[in-house]
Amino acid sequence: GAVVSQHPSWVICKSGTSVKIECRSLDFQATTMFWYRQFPKQSLMLMATSNEGSKATYEQGVEKDKFLINHASLTLSTLTVTSAHPEDSSFYICSATSGKDHNEQFFGPGTRLTVL
Amino acid sequence: GQNIDQPTEMTATEGAIVQINCTYQTSGFNGLFWYQQHAGEAPTFLSYNVLDGLEEKGRFSSFLSRSKGYSYLLLKELQMKDSASYLCAVLDSNYQLIWGAGTKLIIKP
């Protein structure tokens, strides 16, 4: 149990376009979902925390108008990178918790975004 | 501020034992996690400690001392596939995970 999927696994887009990444909890209801970004050889950087039906809480330095997060249901959260630029190229990972199991975060497989 | 320290990189030999240390200073404590992350992949859960002591799970064990703000991950009978980054993370008083920078473990034959 506790499987989280992400789609797409990788995406290449042109500078200035928008990209949407989906994160789904497949076999549990996720009370909270997290979005991380990871640059090569660096640790995870939390971008935002979202709870179903409410606005996401963004970490300092993360532009909420650029990284739109929608957590419309207990099993789906989406991250949209608007007007992507090459510096947005990164590995984006979502995770989800059910509020049980000592708040363990279950991670999706990640999405590698390359902006040309 | 909140801070988690772990070595940047460690090297060990196949078949040997290695201990990866993690020290933390956080606002509150609701548990400590160890995750394994292979290059290009998402982290996978290894262990969770909330009480002092040693938790053993196969070749991997994790230890916690809350009074010292210290944990370690012990890997026995190292295999080449254990080459990965090992991330220490603490759940603070707000139930937010504070991540260490990770320790890259290199296993040599």
Out of A43, A49, A103, name the one closest to residue B100 (CB): A43
pLDDT score of B20 more than 70: yes
Q: How confident is the model at residue B2 (pLDDT cuts 50, 70, 90)?
A: confident
Is the pLDDT reported for residue B69 higher than 80?
yes
- A102 versus B76: the higher-pLDDT residue is B76
Share of chain B above pLDDT 70, in %: 100
pLDDT band, residue B96 (cuts 50/70/90): confident
Structure tokens that stand for B42 in this block: 């998402």
Structure confidence by residue, pLDDT tens digits, B26-57:
989 999 999 999 988 889 989 999 999 999 98
HEC states along B33-101? EEEEECCCCCCEEEEEECCCEEEEECCEEEEEECCCCEEEEEECCCCHHHCEEEEEEEECCCCCEEECC
The answer, yes or no, to whether residue B58 has pLDDT greater than 80, is: yes
Q: Which residues of A touch B94 (CB under 8 A)?
A: none
Q: Collapsing DSSP states into helix, strand and coil, what is residue B17? A: coil
Residue A4 Cα, gap to closest chain B Cα (Å): 11
Q: Looking at residue A98, what is its pLDDT?
A: 82
pLDDT, tens digit, 9 for 90 and up, residues A91-115: 999 999 887 766 788 999 999 999 9
Name which of B96, B98, B103 to mutate to probe chain A: the one with the most chain A Cβ atoms within 10 A of its Cβ. Answer: B96
**Which of A38, A44, A43, A28 lies closest to A97 in space, CA to CA?**
A28
> So what's the pLDDT on residue A88?
95
Contact flag B96-A42 (C-beta cutoff 8 Å):
no
Average pLDDT over residues A44-70: 90
Q: pLDDT band for position A31 (50/70/90)?
A: confident
pLDDT at A13 over 70: yes
Decide if B31 and A49 are in contact by the 8 Å CB cutoff. Answer: no
Candidate from B30, B91, B101 with C-beta closest to A43? B101
The mean pLDDT value for A49-65 works out to: 89
Cβ–Cβ of A46/B97 closer than 8 Å? yes
CB pairs < 8 Å spanning A and B: 42
Which residues, at least 6 apart from A7, have a Cβ–Cβ distance to it below 8 Å? A21, A22, A24, A111
Q: What is the spatial distance between Cα B63 and Cα B94, in angstroms, rounded to a whole number?
A: 23
Distance of CA B61 to the CA centre of its chain: 10
pLDDT score of A100? 72
Considering chain A, what percentage of its residues have pLDDT values greater than 70?
Answer: 97
In this predicted structure, which of A12-16, A96-100, A106-110, B20-24 has the lowest mean pLDDT?
A96-100
Give contacts of B 35-54 with A, CB under 8 A.
Answer: 40-45, 48, 50
Given an 8 Å threshold on Cβ–Cβ distance, is A108 in contact with B42?
Answer: yes
A46, A102, A107 ranked by CB distance to B42: nearest: A107
**Which residue in the block uniquely carries the two structure tokens 């108008």?**
A65
Instruction: Give the nearest chain B residue to A108 (CA atoms).
Output: B42
- Does the beta-carbon distance from B40 to A104 stay under 8 Å? no
Per-residue confidence band for A1, with pLDDT thresholds at 50, 70 and 90: low
Mean predicted confidence (pLDDT) in B86-105: 90
pLDDT of residue A41 exceeding 80: no
